[in-house]
Structure 1
Amino acid sequence: MYLVNVIAKDTTIVDRGLDTHLRPTIDLLRRTLGSDENIVKAIKRFPWLLTFGAHHAMETNLLLFRDTVFSDVRIKKFVLRYPRYLTQKSGWVKDLLQRVENDFRVPRDSPCFLQGFEVLSSQKKSTLKRKFRIFNSFGWSDDDVVKMFRKLPYCIALSEVRIQKALNLFMKECGFGTAYLVSHPAILAYSLEKRVVPRMQVLKILDEKKLERRKLALYPVLMLTESKFIDYFVLPYKDQIPDLYEPLKKTVAP
C-alpha cells in the first residue's frame, strides 16, 4: 500500500503508462529487490527510479551485473544502496565494469569489486590522472596505486588535498614506506583532524613524559575504537596528566 501511495504522489510516474512502463518496471524491481518495502527504499534514495525510460535498459544493466558473476544477493544489496546505476546507459555500465576488472585488476568475486565500481563512477579520468600523479610524486608507481585500490578502492575517492596531506604526514613525518601503505591502505582513509593527529599527540605526550604505555604501532592504534583508545592511553594516566584528554575533546561527539 505504501508503494501505491508513493506512486500516486508523483504524477510523472502515472503518466508513463501502466502496462507499457509502470507494471513491468515494478515487476523487475520486485524480482531484484524482493519486496515492495525495498522498492520504496530504493525510490527514496533515487526518486527518479520509476520515471526512468524503458525498463529494458534496466534489465540490460542487471544482466551485465549478473554476467560479471554477481550473485542475486550482492546485486540486491548494491541496487538498494545505489539504485541510480540501474538507470545509466548500458554502454557506460559495461565500460566501467571492464575498467574495474582490467585497468584496476579487481577480481570479479572480490568484495571490493562493487565498491570499486562505485568509486570509479564518481571520478573523471582527468581527476584520476591527477591523483595518480600525486602518488607518483611520493615515489609510488602506478602499479602501487592499483594494488592499493584493490585492497581499498575508497582511497582513490579521497580529495587531492586529502591525499597530499595524508602522504605528507605518513611518509615524510612518520617515515612509512610505500609498501607499508599499499598493504595498509585504511591508514590513508582515517580522518587526519579527528583521528590521526589527536591520537599521535596523545602518544607523543606520553613518550615525552617517559611514561610506560602499550607498545602498539601507529596503525593498530588508529584502528582502535575511541573508547578503547581512551581506556588504553588516557585513563591510566589521568592522575599524572589531567589534561591528556584535551587533544581528543574536539573529536568526541557531545
Structure 2
Amino acid sequence: MFNTPPPYLYLKNHLTFPLIIHHSPSPSCSLHFSNNNTSDSTTSIAVSYLIKTFNFTPKFASKLCSTYDIRFKTAQNPDLVLNFFRNNGFSETQLPSIITKAPWLLSCNLSLRVIPKFQFLLSKGASKSDIVNLVCKNPMVLSPSLENHIIPTYELLYRFMQSDNDTIHLVIHKPYVLSSHLVSYNIKILVDIGVKDSTMVRLLELRSTTRLFQTNEMLEMVEELKNSGFTTSKTTFVIALLARENKVAWKEKVDLYKKWGWSDEDVKEAFKKQPHCMSVSINKINLVMDFWVNQLGWDARAIAKTPHILSLSLEKRITPRALVVQFLQEKGLHKENASLTYPFVVSEKLFRDAYLKRYKEESSYLLKLYEEKLKLAYTTHKNGMR
C-alpha cells in the first residue's frame, strides 16, 4: 500500500477531481493471511473476508466466491477498493449490495478498472452522488472497458440526448444503457433502418424499453415487421416493435382476441392497422370486449376492423357514445349497414353534429343523455373511482 496517499486523482488533461483514496485499513477488515499459492487457499481467504467484512453467511460467501471465481491472497486490495468507495460517498449499507452484485471488484485493479470510469463521469458533469446512485443501481456499469465500450456508448447516447446533463440523467435512471453491450448494438440497428433520432429519444426515455434494448433478437423482429408492411421511419413501427418484443404477452393477447371471436387473420390485420392494440392491457381488452359484445350485443370483429377503439377510454368515450348509437338504432335512425365503429373514432365536434344535433326531435334528449354520462365519467375519474 502507499505510505503517503495522494489526496486527489488527476485526469490526463490535468483537471482535478476529489476522488479520495485514503489507504487506512477499515476497522472490520484488518486481516492478515499467510501467503499460500494454492487455489483452495486463496478462495478460502476470500470467503473469510466476505464473512468478516459484510457478515455474509459462510454458505452465501462460499457460493459467491465459487460462482464468480473470487480469490485473493491478502486483504490489501479488497481493503483498498472498499476504502475508495467509502471515501467517495458510499455508505456501509450500500457496500454489501454492490459486492454481492459485482464481487470481482474486490480483486480488481482499482486504478485501471474503477477510477478512470469515475473520472470520466465526473468530467461529463455527474456529481459524486450521481455516481453513487448509478453504481448502487447497477455495479456492473464498472465492468466494461472505458475506451472500447463506455465512451463510445456514451457518445452514441449523447447524439440523441444532445447534452451531457440529459445523457447523465438517462444513464443514472437506466444504468443498463451504459453497461449492456447489446444496447449500443440494438440502437445502431434501429438507426441504420431509418428510425428517427426524435423517436430514439422517446424510446430511450420510456420505462418499458428495458427488454427491447437488451434483446438479442432485434434483427429478427425488425425483418418480421418490415415484411409485414411496417415503414421503419414511422412511429407505428416502434409501437409494433415494442408490442412484438414481449413474446409471452403477445401470445396471451392473441389467444384473448381469438377467445372473443377474432381469427388469426383478424389479429394480423388489426395489428397492422393499429399496433397499439397489442400493447393494450389484458384487463382493458376484456373490459372493452365485454361491454361491446355482452352489453351492446355487437360483433367483436367490428373492432378488429377499427382497432383504434381499444385505445379509447371506455368511460369517457366508448360508453357515452354507445348509448347514443343504441338509442338511434332503437329509433331506426342508425342504418343497419352503417359502420358501428365510426361514431367512436370521429372528433367530438363531428360526433355532436352528426349524432346529437342532426335529429331535431331527439337532439334535446340525446344531448342530455350524452352529457350526463360524460359528466359521470369525468366525476368518477376525478374522485379516483374507476
Match status 1:66 vs 2:229: no
| Residue of structure 1 aligned with 2:155, choices 5, 18, 27 | 27
Distance 1:166 1:75, change over 3 A: same
Which is bigger in relative contact order (C-alpha 8 A, separation at least 6)? Answer: 1
What is the percent sequence identity of the aligned residues? 22
Matches of 1:26 and 1:155, distance apart in 2 = 34
Q: What corresponds to 2:91 in structure 1?
A: none
| Equivalent AA in structure 2 for residue 32 of structure 1 | F
Which SS does the other structure have where 1:175 is aligned?
coil
What is the CA distance between 1:133 and its match in structure 2?
2.6
Distance 1:182 1:11, change over 3 A: same
What is the CA distance between 1:61 and its match in structure 2?
1.5
Match status 1:246 vs 2:368: no
Give the conservation status (yes or no) of the 8 Å contact 1:170–1:176: yes
| Equivalent AA in structure 1 for residue 160 of structure 2 | T
Match status 1:75 vs 2:75: no
| Residue of structure 2 aligned with 1:36, choices 154, 164, 172 | 164
Which SS does the other structure have where 1:58 is aligned?
helix
What is the CA distance between 1:114 and its match in structure 2?
0.8
Deviates more, 1:231-240 or 1:167-176: 231-240
Alignment of 1:154-169 (within 5 A): 154-169=276-291
| Equivalent AA in structure 1 for residue 311 of structure 2 | A
What is the CA distance between 1:200 and its match in structure 2?
1.7
What is the CA distance between 1:218 and its match in structure 2?
4.5
| Residue of structure 2 aligned with 1:150, choices 259, 269, 272 | 272
Q: What corresponds to 2:3 in structure 1?
A: none
Deviates more, 1:78-87 or 1:240-249: 78-87
Give the conservation status (yes or no) of the 8 Å contact 1:33–1:76: yes
Matches of 1:63 and 1:136, distance apart in 2 = 36
State the TM-score, normalized to the length of structure 1. Answer: 0.69
Q: Which runs of 5+ in 2 are unaligned?
A: 1-121
CA RMSD of aligned residues (A): 4.3
Structure having the higher Rg: 2
Per-residue CA deviation, residues 63-121 of structure 1 (Å, 9 max, x unaligned), is: 2213434344543443344695598435143344345446xx24343632110111223
Which SS does the other structure have where 1:140 is aligned?
coil
| Equivalent AA in structure 2 for residue 11 of structure 1 | V
Distance 1:151 1:42, change over 3 A: farther
Give the conservation status (yes or no) of the 8 Å contact 2:126–2:168: no
What is the CA distance between 1:150 and its match in structure 2?
1.2
Matches of 1:212 and 1:156, distance apart in 2 = 34
What is the CA distance between 1:219 and its match in structure 2?
2.9
| Equivalent AA in structure 1 for residue 237 of structure 2 | F
Give the conservation status (yes or no) of the 8 Å contact 1:42–1:81: no
Matches of 2:284 and 2:319, distance apart in 1 = 14
Matches of 2:263 and 2:274, distance apart in 1 = 17
| Equivalent AA in structure 1 for residue 200 of structure 2 | I
Q: What corresponds to 2:253 in structure 1?
A: 131
Matches of 2:240 and 2:133, distance apart in 1 = 33
| Residue of structure 2 aligned with 1:223, choices 345, 348, 352 | 345
Which SS does the other structure have where 1:113 is aligned?
helix
Which SS does the other structure have where 2:377 is aligned?
coil
Give the conservation status (yes or no) of the 8 Å contact 1:101–1:107: yes
Matches of 1:153 and 1:38, distance apart in 2 = 30
| Residue of structure 2 aligned with 1:10, choices 131, 137, 140 | 131
Matches of 2:214 and 2:126, distance apart in 1 = 29
What is the CA distance between 1:224 and its match in structure 2?
4.1
Give the conservation status (yes or no) of the 8 Å contact 2:154–2:178: no
| Equivalent AA in structure 1 for residue 244 of structure 2 | L
| Equivalent AA in structure 1 for residue 242 of structure 2 | E
Matches of 1:240 and 1:232, distance apart in 2 = 15
Matches of 1:174 and 1:7, distance apart in 2 = 62
What is the CA distance between 1:196 and its match in structure 2?
0.9
| Residue of structure 2 aligned with 1:49, choices 152, 161, 175 | 175
Q: Which runs of 5+ in 1 are unaligned?
A: none
What is the CA distance between 1:34 and its match in structure 2?
3.0
Distance 1:252 1:165, change over 3 A: closer
What is the CA distance between 1:47 and its match in structure 2?
0.4
| Residue of structure 1 aligned with 2:232, choices 95, 109, 118 | 109
Matches of 1:241 and 1:62, distance apart in 2 = 52
| Equivalent AA in structure 2 for residue 150 of structure 1 | K
Q: How many residues are treated as equivalent by the alignment?
A: 244
| Equivalent AA in structure 1 for residue 214 of structure 2 | K
Distance 1:95 1:242, change over 3 A: closer
| Equivalent AA in structure 1 for residue 345 of structure 2 | M
Q: What corresponds to 2:242 in structure 1?
A: 118
Matches of 1:77 and 1:91, distance apart in 2 = 21
